[in-house]
Structure 1
Amino acid sequence: MATHVLTAPGLGSSGPQHWQTLWEQLIPGTKRIEQTSWDAPVCAAWVVHIEKEVAAAGPQVVIVAHSLACIAVAHWAAQTKRPIAGALLVAPPDAERPGFPPEALGFTPIPNKILPFKTIVVASTNDEYCSLDRATYFAATWGSRFINLGAKGHINAQSNLGEWTEGMQYLRELLPAGVKI
């Protein structure tokens, strides 16, 4: 089966109870974009891995990014020539804020131009890594549809979303015509 969904976890990756990991088990053909270092990420290296996996998956793929991977996808989009169907960008962190984890290198400045594919940014009102105003700004500058989930924290395993069926609906909006999950 063709890969139609690539998951892109953030800093530290996504553990067994994270909705991304659950989606990888639930959605046939879903593949994780693995990174060399989950704990000391370098943006340029993450972009190389995104490029490699998109090249293998083809233009009908949707990237489902969480947290720091959202910023990596924006950097990747600024330099790739590869088309994709879209990207679901969940809980983008503000890598430009004071106190951002210093082990994450090269993620700033955050690209602030319209992404060349359909995108949805999903954010929370109480995300410790990004204010709602800043998430709204990212959505506007990236040309994304914006969804406010309310008070869901960093929209990760601690948010107790389980399989996050609401998020799967957003994913369906980005899939190429005729692709069902």
Structure 2
Amino acid sequence: MSREKKKGSCLKTALIVIVVLAILGVIGTALGKKDDKVKDATAGKGDAKSEETKEKTEFAIGETAEQKGIQITLLSTTESSGNEFTTPDEGNVFLLCEFEITNNSEKDIAISSIASFEAYCDDYSINQDILGLQVSEAEGKNQLDGSVAAGKKMNGIIAYQVPAEWSTMEIKVSPDFWSSKDITFVFNK
């Protein structure tokens, strides 16, 4: 056999091997996806264990959420029309949200009312309201900012200015800056 025929034969063999491996890879991937779909379809049917292992992601007023040893509770919410010195914009009210944070982890944590909290009122993004914080401080409530040592607690207010006719509020809390999971508190007026 000539040298060129040998090269052509080797190339054909190599191409056939590559094509066969590619086809086997596609078939294996397809079978793996089919198995996942079967597992997903059967996982929720009467399987109490699968329901228990689902991690709760939304919490209501009074419920305690925990993440990496840090417990967060939205204790209460209060609407306020302000005081003689500070009032919300026309048609709005201050919504004062009181949180308690318990640090049962082994390290100190930093809580920032700006960086740790993200809020939505009726699906619109809103920011903390400084005037609302002044009202809460006049009532003897602290702003929710600072560090919490391991084994210690923090209590304070996050204030928002919302329309007087608001319907649903959603507050996402990130107690650990490095975590990708937020704890979400959802409540209605």
**TM-score per shorter chain, which class?**
under 0.3
Which structure dedicates a bigger proportion of its chain to strand? 2
TM-score, length of structure 1 as denominator length: 0.28
Normalising by structure 2, what TM-score? 0.27
